[in-house]
Copies of this chain bind each other. A is one copy, B any other.
Amino acid sequence: MTVDFHDYWEGSKKLIDGALDEYLPLESETPEVIHQAMRYALFPGGKRLRPILTLAAAEAVGDDSRAVLPTACALELIHAYSLIHDDLPALDDDDYRRGKFSTHKAFGEDIAVLAGDALLTLAFGLISKTGEREEIKGSLVLLVIGEVARSVGTAGMIGGQVDDLKSEGKEVPLAQLESIHHRKTGALLELCLKAGAILGGGTQEEIESLSRYGRDIGLAFQIGDDILDVKEEKKGKASYPALLGLEESKRKVSELIKRAKGELACCKDGEGILGKIADLVFRRSLEYNAGNP
């Protein structure tokens, strides 16, 4: 029996939203304002792509993904923390996020800084709790914590953000742009796959293949963002379409998605979900045409 992709996504999203609600301190817990800000940044969320990728990777290499849920949610917390800090006036200075005020506009800059800090802190705490489950070895959890620190630290996500900030208004060669995209967006997506595969009990080969899949769809996702977000060019920011042209950018997305799907031969790919997520990332980058015929 094949699970319908839309049903799978909605079911997973519900599971993740319920777990996030359980893991986050209540708004009524003191100090209320910081917990309100943390929840404001997380609910209602986006597509929950990162935790869904984590769960799907665990399913692709094992039978049960439930034990991976705290880690999947932790990676969503890290995504949320990075958006709060990126939106700050001193960084990208964005007043809006997902159709509402960004966290610092709603709660003040002081609370936004601390809410980001708190989400990052809570994320590591959550992952450590995974070790309390008998079916997952503590050594694997420690391995994942090390991978998280590396992927979202200065060698990964934070480093990408630094180079992105520093390259604004400058000419950026393609290799540098790809490196920024890989670190700023791709590193966290790759981490989701890797963490899910490790905790799901994957073999070394499975872990590596799924990580490469994550790396490729991560870059494809970001090029898709570039294609969708033509405004970026106006802000003097480098983008794939600006450097390569629109058609060549789409060709690159197509190539990355094909390669990513090739990596899935390694695993049983739970219900073909990872293949369908790759297709989704591909179709997303074509939406540009749909809206601009």
Do the beta carbons of B118 and A90 come within 8 Å of each other?
A: no
Do the beta carbons of A150 and B125 come within 8 Å of each other?
A: yes
Do the beta carbons of A110 and B128 come within 8 Å of each other?
A: no
A103 CB → nearest B CB, Å: 12
Q: In whole angstroms, how far apart are the Cα atoms of A116 and B120 in the complex?
A: 11
Residues of B within 8 A of A142 (CB): 128, 131-132, 138, 141-142
| A49 proximal to B (CB < 8 A) | no
* Copies of this chain, count: 2
Do the beta carbons of A162 and B117 come within 8 Å of each other?
A: no
Tell me the residues in window 197-220 of chain A with beta carbons closer than 8 Å to chain B beta carbons. Answer: none
Of the residues B31, B109, B122, B161, contact of A114 by C-beta under 8 Å: B161
Do the beta carbons of B139 and A131 come within 8 Å of each other?
A: yes
On whether A125 and B113 interact (CB within 8 A), knowing A31-B154, A158-B118, A162-B31, the answer reads no
| A46 proximal to B (CB < 8 A) | no
| A174 proximal to B (CB < 8 A) | no
Residues of B within 8 A of A88 (CB): 109-110, 113
A135 CB → nearest B CB, Å: 15
Nearest CB to that of A32 among chain B residues? B162
Nearest CB to that of A123 among chain B residues? B149
Do the beta carbons of A30 and B159 come within 8 Å of each other?
A: yes
Do the beta carbons of A125 and B138 come within 8 Å of each other?
A: no
A178 CB → nearest B CB, Å: 15
| A75 proximal to B (CB < 8 A) | no
Residues of A within 8 Å of B, CB-based: how many? 55
Do the beta carbons of A145 and B125 come within 8 Å of each other?
A: yes
On whether A111 and B149 interact (CB within 8 A), knowing A31-B154, A142-B142, A154-B35, the answer reads no
Nearest CB to that of A131 among chain B residues? B142
Do the beta carbons of A149 and B131 come within 8 Å of each other?
A: no
18 A–B pairs (Cβ distance < 8 Å), ordered by A: A29-B154, A31-B162, A31-B163, A88-B109, A88-B113, A114-B158, A114-B161, A117-B158, A118-B158, A122-B149, A124-B149, A125-B145, A125-B148, A125-B150, A125-B153, A128-B146, A132-B142, A138-B142
| A-B complex: 9 closest residue pairs judged by Cβ atoms | A125-B149, A90-B109, A138-B138, A131-B142, A128-B145, A31-B162, A124-B124, A128-B146, A121-B153
In the complex, besides A34-B154, A35-B154, A111-B162, 9 extra interface pairs with C-beta distance below 8 angstroms are: A30-B163, A31-B159, A81-B117, A85-B113, A90-B109, A114-B162, A124-B145, A125-B148, A145-B145
